[in-house]
Structure 1
Amino acid sequence: MQTYIVDVGYLQEEDAFDVNHLLPNWLPSSNIFLERSASQAKVGVTGSLSQEDFNLWLSDLARSLPPHTGVSLDLLLTESNGVAYVNYRLVDRITNINPPIEADNPGFLNYALTWFRSRRPKVRIYATEGLFWMEGV
């Protein structure tokens, strides 16, 4: 069983639970290009998307996975001209993944990415059905 060093520092913020909402699972995007890109993503694929589009892409990627399968991605979180960007590399697909107890709900993803961008912009994210968690790199 894999051990994760999960960083949930963003949950210590005063407004963390006020501005986020629980989701039963990842929501599908309405962007067919993001959905197709996510469903065809292979280990090693890299890209750069606005944070908003990355959230949708990751959601579509997690929804495309078989049950009990997860993915890990290395992220570099940046901002340019007031727009947040996520540079990503799909590191692995993990079968029979066992999420840690600290795994979080997809409704917190955008908040977490924003928090990490200003504090620790290089992170590894894991996503599986209905959950994500992050580790500093």
Structure 2
Amino acid sequence: MKPELFRVTPACQAVTEILSRVGDKWTVLVVSYLGNGPMRFNELKRTVNGISQKMLTTTLRSLERDGFVLRTVYQGVPAKVEYQLTDLGRDLLVPVRGLSAWAIANEQRVKNARLQYDAAQNPELAEAAE
């Protein structure tokens, strides 16, 4: 398509907005782990390697706002908070798991393509690696 003919449609904006929400690495990981069943905050934090408390809080709030995650507070001392996927979140789990399986299956092919590209861009580095 020629640049002067390109226009951003409402559908394109919707896709871009939703993919930016669900496409970040923390969302993919949180949704994947919650796909195994409800989890408490600290359990999620231990499971999602490398995520900070602030980032997990932000991710969970965004997922809750967008309707992917349900936050349930159980009364007690201390109060127990649990997170689980909603029906919409479980629907999202299907493409997330598919993309994850594809990434695992094709990891080496992507690495090889990167090596070939880098070698073509900088032949001196390719010779030094040999």
User: Which bracket does the TM-score occupy, shorter chain normalised?
Assistant: under 0.3
RCO comparison, higher one (Cα < 8 Å, 6+): 1
| Bigger radius of gyration | 2
Structure with higher helix content: 2
Higher strand share: 1
What is the TM-score of this pair, normalised by structure 2?
A: 0.25
